[in-house]
Amino acid sequence: MSAVVTPGSVQTAEHSQSHRPDPNYLTHTKGFLSWALTLDHKRIGLMYLVGILTSFLLGGILALLLRAELFFPGEQMFSNDGYNQLFTLHGAVMVFLFIIPSVPAALGNFLVPVMLGAKDVAFPRLNLSSFYLWLAGTAFFLVALFSTGLDTGWTFYTPYSTLTQGPVVAATMGVFILGFSSIFTGLNFIVTINTMRPPGMTWFRMPLFLWATYATSIIQVLATPVLGITVLLLAAERVLKIGIFDPAYNGDPVAFQHFFWFYSHPAVYIMILPAMGIISELMSVHSHKAIFGYRMIAYSSVAIALFGFLVWGHHMFTSGMAEVTTIIFSALTFTVSIPSAIKVFNWLFTMYQGTVSMVTPMCYALAFLFLFTIGGLTGLFLGSLSTDRHLHDTYFVVAHFHYVMMGGTLIAFLGGLFHWWPKMIGKMYNELGGQISALVVFIGFNLTFLPQFVMGSRGMPRRYAQYDKEFEFLHQLSTVGAFVLGMGLFIAAGVLLSSLFRGRKAPANPWGGDTLEWHCESPPPFYNFLRPPVVKDPYDYSRLVYDNRVGGYVERPEDRASGSHK
């Protein structure tokens, strides 16, 4: 560790009952280098958070530009090429720079060691290097995208991507570097969770967020190398003219789609599984009741991770694959729906006979449940072969994956951010403001994407810069919704940012959670825990009671006196 442990600092931590404010991870050292060279997982998580939210802002502005352009059928602010570059940028920024690293790298980095009662991840230096790889990959990617205008879509389908003038090689190298960042993070979490669990934390006493992170990490480590190989092959084809995917050199363009989706479909689960982990925590903590069917949720995370590897072919149902292959992929695709459905029912029944408090994170969790259910159910239309022939590559698909990716992952990420914000920053935000942001986001989201389902089934193809008059009204609804959604997100940002300056100090346990992160101060001290805490059931709330003086939850005085706090 880089920081010097003086006897004094240990002493202050040991006497944490005293009123002297302890230096926390944010304040124990100062200066640019203390952040730039930090090995502290919490600081790295926070730096990721800033980077990821900046990417999200960029991707969001691009989305609003796209929707504004589509308000009228013909050409408005952007030429066809301009529009094509915009949707490419929007997709690429959102997928590679925001959603994939959002939960694991930002919240995961902060939470995994604390939830384990550990001091840090297994490989702190690898952790920092993965952050710098993310930065480098992002810089590479953005420079490539903005300098000449990539217009291949985020999927880089060949042979278009080998023929177009855009900086495909530079952009794919950016993706390649970002992939390594993702692999390192995954590897770190796998080792951390396997080896650093504290005494008493068996696999089935792990918080469900850790189960989800573990499942995600497995996918990151196993699937991301395939993306690396794919983009290298693509670069080799463009530069060396080796025939792999381009029929002009005897390659097969559909082979690229297989390669690409062999990574990118599991990547969908890299995006959604950690979000599911967050929802499991949120539903339980804010219902003040242990999660319903803990083992089913844990197993279903692993099941989704495994099945997720076998369904990539459903992106190619109309590409002319053999019929038997197509039918097998359809069957495999449906297998993923079952564990997802099980999770939804379990979350729902977690509230049954609980004590539900509608604080901001819970509002987002309920919004997730609503939106993810729509996202999941509309997948049935796309997984079944006859309806997919009509719906494939239309706005129905666009709406479906936005309900899953955005209604799922983004909403869960926001819920998690509001949930752990007091822990990360040490400040409480304005509760009413948070609830309003959740409501506005929810309304805006549905107004944006519900019309797109109808548009799609009526035949509106995706990635169209201009469209037929008959879709105008639905497009306008969608655009209005997008701006409402944008406003909701700005409210959310305002609520969080103003808490930095005006929020009251957060108590150690504002919500009444019982996973280990709520057992250390807010924000946590540099070392998280002085000694590995002894672990019991992570969802046993019977010992916690609300204390008005603290403004948060504390252990019942009688439990503390009887020495249950080991």
> Which 192-221 positions form the footprint of another protein (CB under 8 A)?
none
> Which 135-154 positions form the footprint of another protein (CB under 8 A)?
151, 153
Is residue 81 at the binding interface for another protein, with CB under 8 A as the rule? yes
Q: For residue 60, what are its two tokens?
A: 């969001």
| Type of residue numbered 262 | F
Rounded Cα gap, residues 125 and 122, in angstroms: 9
Q: Which of 185, 230, 330, 478 binds another protein (CB under 8 A)?
A: 330
Q: Which of 9, 148, 357, 476 binds another protein (CB under 8 A)?
A: 357
Is residue 318 at the binding interface for another protein, with CB under 8 A as the rule? yes
Which residues does 415 contact at the CB level (< 8 Å), separation at least 6? 278, 279, 282, 360, 361, 362, 363, 364, 365, 367, 368
Q: Which of 39, 64, 310, 342 binds another protein (CB under 8 A)?
A: 342
Three-point CA angle 493, 494, 499, nearest 5°: 105
For the bound state, the minimum distance from the C-beta of residue 70 to another protein, rounded and expressed in Å, comes to 10
> Which 468-487 positions form the footprint of another protein (CB under 8 A)?
468-470
Q: Which of 185, 216, 230, 394 binds another protein (CB under 8 A)?
A: 394
Q: Which of 1, 37, 203, 390 binds another protein (CB under 8 A)?
A: 390
- By the 10 Å C-beta count (0-12 exposed, 13-18 middle, 19+ buried), 250 is classed as exposed
What's 39-50 look like in SS3?
CCHHHHHHHHHH
Is residue 290 at the binding interface for another protein, with CB under 8 A as the rule? yes
For the bound state, the minimum distance from the C-beta of residue 146 to another protein, rounded and expressed in Å, comes to 19
Task: Tell whether omega for the bond before 266 is within 30 degrees of 0, i.e. cis.
Answer: no
For the bound state, the minimum distance from the C-beta of residue 378 to another protein, rounded and expressed in Å, comes to 7
For the bound state, the minimum distance from the C-beta of residue 183 to another protein, rounded and expressed in Å, comes to 29
Q: Which of 349, 450, 543, 559 binds another protein (CB under 8 A)?
A: 349
Is residue 320 at the binding interface for another protein, with CB under 8 A as the rule? yes
Instruction: Give the per-residue contact string, 420-459, with another protein (x = CB under 8 A; - = no).
Output: ----------------------------------x--xxx
Question: What DSSP letter does each residue of 215-273 carry, written as one string?
Answer: HHHHHHHHHHHHHHHHHHHHHHHHHH---SS-GGGT--HHHHHHHHHHHHHHHHHHHHH
> Which 227-256 positions form the footprint of another protein (CB under 8 A)?
247-248, 250-254
Rounded Cα gap, residues 55 and 61, in angstroms: 10
Is residue 78 at the binding interface for another protein, with CB under 8 A as the rule? no
> Which 533-552 positions form the footprint of another protein (CB under 8 A)?
540-542
Rounded Cα gap, residues 498 and 489, in angstroms: 14
Which residues does 50 contact at the CB level (< 8 Å), separation at least 6? none
> Which 160-179 positions form the footprint of another protein (CB under 8 A)?
160, 163-165
Q: Which of 29, 34, 384, 476 binds another protein (CB under 8 A)?
A: 384
Query: Torsion angle, CA of 206/195/108/537, rounded to 10 degrees?
Result: 20
Is residue 373 at the binding interface for another protein, with CB under 8 A as the rule? yes
Q: Which stretch binds another protein (CB under 8 A): 36-44, 274-282, 419-427, 462-470?
A: 462-470
Closest by Cα among 114, 112, 136, 106 to 44: 106
Is residue 369 at the binding interface for another protein, with CB under 8 A as the rule? yes
Return the H-helix or E-strand segment holding 301: helix 294-307
224, 261 in Cβ contact below 8 A? no
Q: Which stretch binds another protein (CB under 8 A): 8-16, 32-40, 403-411, 461-469?
A: 461-469
Closer residue to another protein, CB minimum distance, 24 or 387? 387
| Type of residue numbered 429 | Y
Number of residues forming the site for another protein (CB under 8 A): 91
Closer residue to another protein, CB minimum distance, 314 or 519? 314
492-510: b (≥16 Cβ within 10 Å) or e: beebbeebeeebeebbbbb
Q: Which of 41, 392, 400, 475 binds another protein (CB under 8 A)?
A: 392
Closer residue to another protein, CB minimum distance, 389 or 505? 389
437, 445 in Cβ contact below 8 A? no
Q: Which stretch binds another protein (CB under 8 A): 186-194, 370-378, 430-438, 486-494?
A: 370-378
Is residue 294 at the binding interface for another protein, with CB under 8 A as the rule? yes
Is residue 288 at the binding interface for another protein, with CB under 8 A as the rule? yes
Q: Which of 195, 352, 431, 497 binds another protein (CB under 8 A)?
A: 352
Closer residue to another protein, CB minimum distance, 221 or 254? 254
Closest by Cα among 66, 87, 85 to 77: 66
- By the 10 Å C-beta count (0-12 exposed, 13-18 middle, 19+ buried), 202 is classed as exposed
For the bound state, the minimum distance from the C-beta of residue 385 to another protein, rounded and expressed in Å, comes to 3
Q: Which of 467, 511, 526, 529 binds another protein (CB under 8 A)?
A: 467
- CA 513 to chain CA mean position, Å: 21
Q: For residue 205, what are its two tokens?
A: 């006493």
Is residue 77 at the binding interface for another protein, with CB under 8 A as the rule? no
